Structure 1
Amino acid sequence: MNCSTAWLALQTLEGGIELTHTPADQADHLAAQLSSDLGEWGLQSVVQTLNVPLEDGTVALIASLQPEFQQSHMPGHNSLNLYSSLAATAPSTHADEAWALEREIWVALLGSPHRFVFHNLEALKSHVRVRRNMALAARLTALAFKTEAAERPEADWHYEEEPGFILKPGRPLINALIAATQPEATGKLYDFSCYRATEYVILLGIAQELQAHHPALLAELQQLNERHAVRSGQFHEVFLIEYGSMEAPLPARFYVPGDRLWFRNPDERSADVTGYEGSWVMYMGGGLFSNFWKRDTPFTLESKAIEIFHWKDGVYTDAQGELQMDETVVERLVAQTQADPQARARVLDRMLRMRDPKGVYAEGGCIDTTREYPKNVTREHCDLVLPAF
């Protein structure tokens, strides 16, 4: 591709990475620094950059994958095959799990249809590390499956009605989160909802970054968790940024390792069973989504869709008149569908559609239009503001 063609392509690009409000006289140096940093993952030759003047006299440095590389590794913004695709181009000196995951994150961000904006290069590199931390933590997380139960390691946590599960004084947050989510730490599985489990994985990923690069904020986060848990809607507001929308949905096969996302149950009756309205998961990279209840059997996009499809077949009314889910029925029917290519294709055609709007149960599938990722936590440009309790 010649320079003018590449420049025109970049001008019309809506996605990739933007380092915003860069002093004009530093833009070329910043582009060179980004290229140098990408050399650690063997990616310096597959990226194109463009300086876009801004109204305040600074420039936005936009970086994206070169079109040929994008088409080869992320056609149609499909990032689910990146791990295997990139493995063929990896330098032979690198076989480390974290390195390969970081490389996959970089490529997914650079090839994104959504523009990821960062204050500077340090914020971008911090973002990659936090995503890496979360994806690695999700791969290690295993929990007991009781959607209405709540339990934590007693050495680290205690429960109070209004604050929720809070840290015992002097118990380090990172160790406590690992103890609650990774059974190797305690030899025990603890009971969580999938939504709360994703919060712990995200919090752990952020805390690990703060320990290495922003210890003062980690101390504040530690103190907060000794007073009050940040949960549910407030957790989303405090820690996360949502990207995509119903009006501008993200592609169905575009995910960045470290994304939190929701698969919707499109069946109205079974969606009334507690815990089966949908499924909150972490994208762990390699085309795999977290399965906290069966850690060694993570979901693919297809296997998750097929499981949710058969929730409608597992729902029943118990003796007290309450809706319940029979997981053995679901597992049996999932196995049957997976073994029948025609049935599998029919189910996936039904499920791998964008979901209907809230409250609507019509022809939509299980795919959500949005994803979530953590706010910037660097010292110089920290977007994370902790609440006061």
Structure 2
Amino acid sequence: MKRSLFSGCCLLMVIQMQPLQAAPAGGQEAVTVACGDCQPGSRQTGTPASGLRFSCPAGEVVKFGQAVDAYLLSNGISMRHIAKTIDTEHGTLSYVMRTDRQTHDTLALARHPALRVKDERLLLPGAHGTMRPIHTVSKQEILLALMQTGRLTAFDAPACSLDTLKDHVAIRQNIVAWAENLNWVWPNGGQARWNTRYWRRGTPRHDVPLHVAVNDAFINQRLYSIGCYTGAKLVMIQGVLDYYQRIKRDPEQVKRIEARLWSNQDPLTDIEPGRMWDFEADFDNKEQNRPGKLLTIQYGVPARHFVPGDWAYFLNTDAKSYQKTGYEGSNAIYLGRNRFDDFYNDHNHAYTYHEKLDEVYQWRHGVFSRSRDAAKIKPLSRQAMARLEQPPKQGGLVNDFRVYPYFFGAPLPELPRQK
């Protein structure tokens, strides 16, 4: 059924789908509504402030929406679970999961029977030119998480293109794939160790291509003894460079990204925005407006909202154990399927959300290895665990930001000039 409502505002076309909870078979009901009937977005055009949003030339938005629909369907996403909104006047298009607006949880998406989420099997390069299979998060789950309520991912022009969306989803998947099976050595407060064939004290050798040096950290993992901060940065860099070098085969983009990483002569530094660390007592305010070389940041994200490929931070709020080098907090990559990385294979390659919270919390009890110090673990009640899910200011451990790659199909922020 189609109807029109006018309230002196732009005209929108909303495709109303069946709620996810019911998810019955059947068609869609197209309803035309006015701006005043919609949740305002950041541009005040009436598009939803959650999920995926595209801002394109007004005359192209309907055709572009058809292309996005086809991409979602090709990744096993039924349009019955999605609310699609088109604003033909302002050229905006949005996709939001048809879930309870108060429920922003992405951790259980893979277990929802109606969504029929499945892992994907990929091949990653191994030692001596071999390829190894790995089961990892699907593009389907990444897209569903991007469309979940509680968080907006905006592809505004010139990033409003299907290729930019596809690249972003594939990069997130590649980040996760490389984080699935890690076995680095934990330095435990000691000096880091690197494969000197490719690295000199944490800086890639200039006589080796950057993507080759980074790739070696994943091929010869036992030659690297690094902290979780360095581990998170390596995973992010590998996910991006390997995508453009091996998967998309775009040498010009690789060249641009590597030049950006080398811009301060130290590729592993400053890949994230400076303000990511503004919660620390010794934060340098000069870093507040420094953009990341590779990553951007989003604040105000609900506690249980993670998109596979996100870099999150779990803060150790215990003053005493915080002073122990390496235990200030946990830099965690979300792998999808309610799993977070395990850089050192101390917990069978992954932690669930509650296991990650418990890991950081238990440091105050001297549990610095889940296998070695298991006897020191003090179980948490359900109420205590719920509290830990909140931001630190509310008694929890999870900072409310998420860090993730730029949209590389669009211009990137200018980096500070080096003196």
Q: TM-score range by the shorter chain?
A: 0.7 to 0.9
Kindly indicate whether residue 343 of structure 2 is the aligned counterpart of residue 306 of structure 1: no
Change beyond 3 A, Cα 1:346–1:142: same
Match of residue 395 from structure 2: 364
State the SS of the aligned residue for 1:76. Answer: coil
Change beyond 3 A, Cα 1:87–1:198: farther
Q: Which stretch shows the higher mean deviation, 1-10 or 99-108?
A: 1-10
Kindly indicate whether residue 111 of structure 2 is the aligned counterpart of residue 84 of structure 1: yes
Give the C-alpha shift of residue 105 in structure 1. Answer: 0.5
The higher relative CO (CA closer than 8 Å, separation ≥ 6) is in 1
Match of 2:389 among 352, 356, 364: 352
Take 2:324 and 2:383, find their aligned partners in 1: how far apart are those partners?
A: 25
Match of residue 200 from structure 2: 158
Match of residue 135 from structure 1: 176
Match of residue 244 from structure 2: 210
Matched AA of 1:299:
Y
Give the C-alpha shift of residue 176 in structure 1. Answer: 2.2
Match of 1:117 among 148, 151, 154: 154
Change beyond 3 A, Cα 1:86–1:386: farther
Matched AA of 2:302:
P
Match of 1:333 among 373, 376, 386: 376
Q: Provide the TM-score with structure 2 as the length reference.
A: 0.73
Take 2:58 and 2:203, find their aligned partners in 1: how far apart are those partners?
A: 49
Cα-to-partner distance string for 1:288-343 (whole Å, 9 max, x where unaligned): 0111011624111111111222211218xxxxxxxxx6877753233x52xxxxx4
State the SS of the aligned residue for 1:192. Answer: coil
CA contact (8 A) 2:184 2:225 kept: yes
CA contact (8 A) 2:406 2:412 kept: yes
Cα-to-partner distance string for 1:158-201 (whole Å, 9 max, x where unaligned): 23xxxx512341x3433322321x2xx23624111101111111
Match of 2:411 among 378, 382, 385: 382
Match of residue 26 from structure 2: none
State the SS of the aligned residue for 2:297. Answer: strand
CA contact (8 A) 2:111 2:117 kept: no
CA contact (8 A) 2:389 2:397 kept: yes
Change beyond 3 A, Cα 1:215–1:6: farther
Cα-to-partner distance string for 1:17-56 (whole Å, 9 max, x where unaligned): 1111x12221110011111111211225233322336xxx
Give the C-alpha shift of residue 107 in structure 1. Answer: 0.4
Take 1:100 and 1:186, find their aligned partners in 2: how far apart are those partners?
A: 24
Change beyond 3 A, Cα 1:152–1:350: same
Matched AA of 1:63:
Y
CA contact (8 A) 1:376 1:384 kept: no
Take 1:373 and 1:353, find their aligned partners in 2: how far apart are those partners?
A: 21
Change beyond 3 A, Cα 1:280–1:308: same
Q: Provide the TM-score with structure 1 as the length reference.
A: 0.78
Q: Superposition RMSD on alpha carbons, in Å?
A: 3.0
Matched AA of 2:95:
A
CA contact (8 A) 1:79 1:254 kept: yes
Matched AA of 1:35:
D
Kindly indicate whether residue 230 of structure 2 is the aligned counterpart of residue 196 of structure 1: yes
CA contact (8 A) 2:314 2:330 kept: yes
State the SS of the aligned residue for 1:127. Answer: helix
Kindly indicate whether residue 82 of structure 2 is the aligned counterpart of residue 47 of structure 1: yes
Take 1:126 and 1:345, find their aligned partners in 2: how far apart are those partners?
A: 39
Kindly indicate whether residue 58 of structure 2 is the aligned counterpart of residue 18 of structure 1: no
State the SS of the aligned residue for 2:138. Answer: helix
Match of 2:297 among 221, 225, 242: 242
Give the C-alpha shift of residue 129 in structure 1. Answer: 1.1
State the SS of the aligned residue for 1:96. Answer: strand
Among the aligned pairs, what percent are the same residue?
22
Matched AA of 1:198:
A
CA contact (8 A) 2:203 2:268 kept: no
Change beyond 3 A, Cα 1:220–1:290: same
Give the C-alpha shift of residue 210 in structure 1. Answer: 2.5
Total equivalences in the alignment: 343
Match of residue 149 from structure 1: 191
CA contact (8 A) 2:234 2:268 kept: no
Take 2:76 and 2:139, find their aligned partners in 1: how far apart are those partners?
A: 12
Match of residue 267 from structure 1: 318
Kindly indicate whether residue 113 of structure 2 is the aligned counterpart of residue 62 of structure 1: no
Give the C-alpha shift of residue 125 in structure 1. Answer: 1.4
- Stretches of structure 1 that go unaligned for 5 or more consecutive residues are 316-324, 338-342, 357-362
Take 2:114 and 2:30, find their aligned partners in 1: how far apart are those partners?
A: 29
Match of residue 96 from structure 1: 121
State the SS of the aligned residue for 1:79. Answer: coil
Match of residue 279 from structure 2: none
